[in-house]
Chains A and B, each alone.
Chain A
Amino acid sequence: MADSYDEEPISDATKIEMAADFLKFAPPGEFNEVYNDVATILHNENQMKEACRIAVPQWNVEQFLPVDLGNGDSCLLTPAAALPDGRYYDPKSKQSFDYHHMQRAASDIQPSPVDEKSEALRSEVEAAVEAYVNAHYPNGSTSVYGQSEGSKVTIIICIEDHEFQSRNHWGGRWRSCWTIEVNDGQATVSGLLRIQVHYYENGNVQLLCKKEYEHEMSYDKNKFVPDLLKFIKTSEGDYQSAISDNYVKMSDTTFKALRRQLPMTKTKIDWHKLLGYRIGKEATQAANH
């Protein structure tokens, strides 16, 4: 249609922005496919490079990508892992590393200074979280970070699990992030749980879930970690149950409100009856000529 070509062609900067936007919304486990699609449509290597520079690090870090550091060490790539110099940090092995976002590989792994003030609590939480993740996440990974500022200690727990089956046209990722601020005998716990599932056989169906938490606890050194894990386990378990219940509700109620399974007669339409004695019959036949 001529009217589409009359418009001003868009600038290179806008093209790059749009390409970056597509990359940012790649579903878990499908980044490569989305990258290939965008590169083919864009058909410009330099613009693609620039779009990747904008979008790829952000995508990798937001996805909580598991990183293999070699030597049996592994960790998650998360916002909490980002260091001011562009490197990333593994709090368990106490190493920092460079990360090549396009190749998804760590390099130049070096020992890194530890935040002494938070380390005791951090490693206690880490041990408890690892046991929890092993029990409830079949393919899960975790990284637990510790920071301190004055009398305040902050622990950040990141949990990730994923399953990708591109041959069967589905994939999914679960991400938990719990931030605990301990100060003066009190602990503030905030949580963000996110789930994304994509099913794409003969279609495109996506489930996107998000829930936030805010919770106050008293900090008693002797029982804090067990209490914290109990809270996390209960919250995540209840959340998973609530999602399941929600499905039932959607299926029973919303679906019905959108389209009935059958008309109120409880039978399929009697088309002959519906059409009655329509004059249209002649018009329909005439339309064939």
Chain B
Amino acid sequence: MSKNARVRLESALDLHRRLPPDMVERNLSNMIDLAPDLTEDLLERVDQPLRLMRDEDKERDFLLCDYNRDGDSYRSPWSDKYFPAIPDGLQISELLRKVEIEFNEVFNQYRELYYDGGISSVYLWEISAESGFAGAVLFKKAGDGSQNIPGSWDSIHVFEVIEKADGFNYRLTTTVMLWLQTKSESSGLLSLGGSLQRQTEKFISGVKVPEHILEIGKMVEDIENKVRNSLNDVYFDKTRAIVSVLRTQTPINERIKNRQQLAAELTQRLDRLNSQPDG
């Protein structure tokens, strides 16, 4: 990639982190129109809420991402077919497909245990450079609307399993997108949404080949639990705390006289906010 293209890509990614998260699809589409030469990189690096499509063969929904896309068609993990149908769509090896089926069955159970509904999809692909394989584990859950609180959760886990001389290296990059919106008489319209990213890596040394689904399953579970706690404790609390920095319920008494004290109080409050661990 040329230096110019790299600089523009970094700017596009930075911009993506600043624009309202609930406009990500439209923003990504506009970004691609302004920088068509960066299309592939943007589609790969910018996370959007997962869309789904119907596998007419297996009568089951599946999730769409760049990793099961060929042109404008998407490969279903259930039937291994492209929708809409295309001749010569990208296929993985028969052997890897067998593994992909396994991954889908296992993570489907994971989905049931943690999400009690929703959709999961797993896509695998060969890595050409080294010995190993890579994949994407996707989950999507939308609120059922019964509690008057629309919301949605999207997980995108991209992993790599690489065989080294003395063991196996697992790398996982996770993005969780969460969106909540409430409408009420007392609090008006409130939208809270966004995404968090995490990365983890582990190395399992030894001669015996680990059970990859198990190792990746544990990594996915651990990271999702951590991110869920982060979202709950730090991000909700942090944005709520920032509101209380903007306006205080209890009056600031004798503001002019105690300006120094007020400034110290505010700094303390902000320091507390900033030092809270990210989880």
Residues of A within 8 A of B (CB): 1, 3-5, 7, 9-10, 14-15, 18-19, 21-22, 25-27, 30, 33-34, 36-38, 40-43, 134-140, 161-163, 165, 168, 170, 172-174, 193, 195, 197-212, 236-247, 249-251, 253-255, 257-265, 268-269, 271-272, 274-275, 278, 280-281, 283-289
Q: Does B193 contact A205, Cβ atoms closer than 8 Å?
A: yes
A228 smallest CB distance to B (angstroms):
18
Question: What are the residues of chain A within 8 A of B151 when measuring CB–CB?
Answer: 250, 254, 257-258
Q: Does B189 contact A284, Cβ atoms closer than 8 Å?
A: no
Range of interface residues on B (Cβ < 8 Å): 35 or more
Question: What are the residues of chain A within 8 A of B205 when measuring CB–CB?
Answer: none
Q: A25-B23, A41-B12, A136-B252 are in contact. Are A250 and B245 (CB under 8 A)?
A: no
Q: Does A258 contact B21, Cβ atoms closer than 8 Å?
A: no
A228 to B51, CA, bound (A): 49
B190 at interface by CB-CB < 8 Å: yes
Q: Does A19 contact B248, Cβ atoms closer than 8 Å?
A: no
B115 at interface by CB-CB < 8 Å: yes
Q: A43-B8, A161-B246, A260-B114 are in contact. Are A138 and B147 (CB under 8 A)?
A: no
Closest to A170 in B: B242
Question: What are the residues of chain B within 8 A of A18 when measuring CB–CB?
Answer: 30, 33-34
Question: What are the residues of chain A within 8 A of B102 when measuring CB–CB?
Answer: 278, 280, 283-284
B278 at interface by CB-CB < 8 Å: yes
Question: What are the residues of chain A within 8 A of B30 when measuring CB–CB?
Answer: 18, 21-22
A138 to B251, CA, bound (A): 10
Of the stretches B57-65, B76-84, B207-215, the one at the interface is: B207-215
Q: Does A247 contact B266, Cβ atoms closer than 8 Å?
A: no
Among residues 123 to 142 in chain B, which have CB atoms less than 8 Å away from a CB atom of chain A? 131-133, 141
Closest to B15 in A: A37
Q: Does A165 contact B270, Cβ atoms closer than 8 Å?
A: yes
Question: What are the residues of chain B within 8 A of A1 when measuring CB–CB?
Answer: 39-40, 71
Question: What are the residues of chain B within 8 A of A281 when measuring CB–CB?
Answer: 211
Closest to A260 in B: B114
Among residues 170 to 220 in chain B, which have CB atoms less than 8 Å away from a CB atom of chain A? 178, 180, 182, 184, 186-198, 209, 211-214, 217-218
B165 at interface by CB-CB < 8 Å: no
Q: A19-B34, A254-B147, A287-B99 are in contact. Are A205 and B246 (CB under 8 A)?
A: no
Q: Does B249 contact A199, Cβ atoms closer than 8 Å?
A: no
Q: Does B11 contact A202, Cβ atoms closer than 8 Å?
A: no
Question: What are the residues of chain B within 8 A of A242 when measuring CB–CB?
Answer: 184, 186-187
Q: A42-B34, A269-B113, A271-B217 are in contact. Are A134 and B252 (CB under 8 A)?
A: yes
Most-contacted residue by chain A among B34, B182, B186, B256 (CB, 10 A): B34
Q: A257-B151, A258-B143 are in contact. Are A3 and B188 (CB under 8 A)?
A: no
Q: A42-B34, A206-B193, A288-B132 are in contact. Are A251 and B243 (CB under 8 A)?
A: no
